[in-house]
Homo-oligomer: A and B are copies of this chain.
Amino acid sequence: MYEGAVQNLIDELGRLPGVGPKSAQRIAFHLLAAETADVHRLVNALVAVKERVRFCAVCGNIAEETQCRICRDPRRDDTVICVVEEPKDVVAIERTREFRGRYHVLGGAISPIEGVGPDDLRVKELMARLSEGRVTEVILATDPNLEGEATATYLARLLKPMGLKVTRLASGLPVGGDLEYADEVTLGRAFEGRRALDF
Q: Is the CB of A18 within 8 A of B28?
A: no
A5 interface neighbour in B12, B52, B86, Cβ under 8 Å: B52
Cβ of A47 within 8 Å of any chain B Cβ, yes or no, is yes
Smallest CB separation, A134 vs chain B (Å)? 25
Interface string of A13-46 (1 = CB under 8 A from B): 1011111000101111111100010111111011
Cβ of A69 within 8 Å of any chain B Cβ, yes or no, is yes
6 further contact pairs, Cβ within 8 A, besides A6-B53, A16-B31, A39-B47 = A2-B87, A3-B62, A5-B45, A5-B49, A5-B53, A29-B88
Number of copies: 2
Q: Is the CB of B8 within 8 A of A48?
A: yes
Q: Is the CB of B3 within 8 A of A53?
A: yes
Interface string of A87-123 (1 = CB under 8 A from B): 1100100000000000000000000000000000000
Q: Is the CB of A46 within 8 A of B9?
A: yes
What is the total number of residues of chain A having a CB less than 8 Å from a CB of chain B? 49
Q: Is the CB of A46 within 8 A of B53?
A: no
Q: How far is the CA of A17 from the CA of B22 in the complex (A)?
A: 11
Q: How far is the CA of A68 from the CA of B41 in the complex (A)?
A: 28
Q: How far is the CA of A9 from the CA of B39 in the complex (A)?
A: 12
Q: Is the CB of A46 within 8 A of B36?
A: no
